[in-house]
Amino acid sequence: MKHRCESWYCEICNNEESRKPPPQQSPKNYTPNDVMTKLEKMDKKYNSLFKQYSEQITIHEELKREVGVPYEDNENIKSMIKKKSEDLEIGLSEDQFTAFKMGKDTSLNCPIKVTLTDEQIKEDILRSRSKTSLTTQKINSMDDESTL
């Protein structure tokens, strides 16, 4: 006599299900063509991922240039600005300002944005007699051609 289940959970049915042998899986024989097809699919997927990664790196580099690059390899912009301030006889220490490159060009010819940390420093620079030294001729005569 076959068991007839009316409840949503039946222990007898559950035990019968567990006694069933697992379905037989026949071993698949792969041909060289199957292997090559699988490798080509993996290669396409890898190439598309690599392309996406390269695009992300490019986007990151472009954003870095647009926002401003604080430092490049072997280059300290703050020390460049400090040297220029000494050349112009404006006493600035490195903790009194922030500086970073602007624009897409990361060479020495790109503009540099300098922000003074204290408003009083800005007033002192404007009041000093050294402000007359800050001319185009003076800036162009500096050796690395960055702009203040």
What mean pLDDT comes out for the span 103-123? 70
Asked if residue 22 belongs to a domain, the reply is: no
pLDDT for position 10:
73
Asked if residue 99 belongs to a domain, the reply is: yes
Give the domain range for residue 103. 77-140
Asked if residue 41 belongs to a domain, the reply is: no
Asked if residue 148 belongs to a domain, the reply is: no
Q: Cβ distance 68 to 105 under 8 Å?
A: no
- Structural domain total, the chain: 1
| pLDDT tens, residue by residue, 43-90 | 999 988 888 888 777 776 666 655 555 555 556 677 777 777 777 677
Asked if residue 93 belongs to a domain, the reply is: yes
Asked if residue 98 belongs to a domain, the reply is: yes
H/E segment holding residue 18: helix 11-19
Cα separation, 29 vs 70, in Å, equals 59
| pLDDT tens, residue by residue, 10-27 | 777 767 666 666 667 777
- CA-based end-to-end distance of the chain: 97
Asked if residue 13 belongs to a domain, the reply is: no
Q: Look up the pTM and report it.
A: 0.33
| pLDDT tens, residue by residue, 74-83 | 566 777 777 7
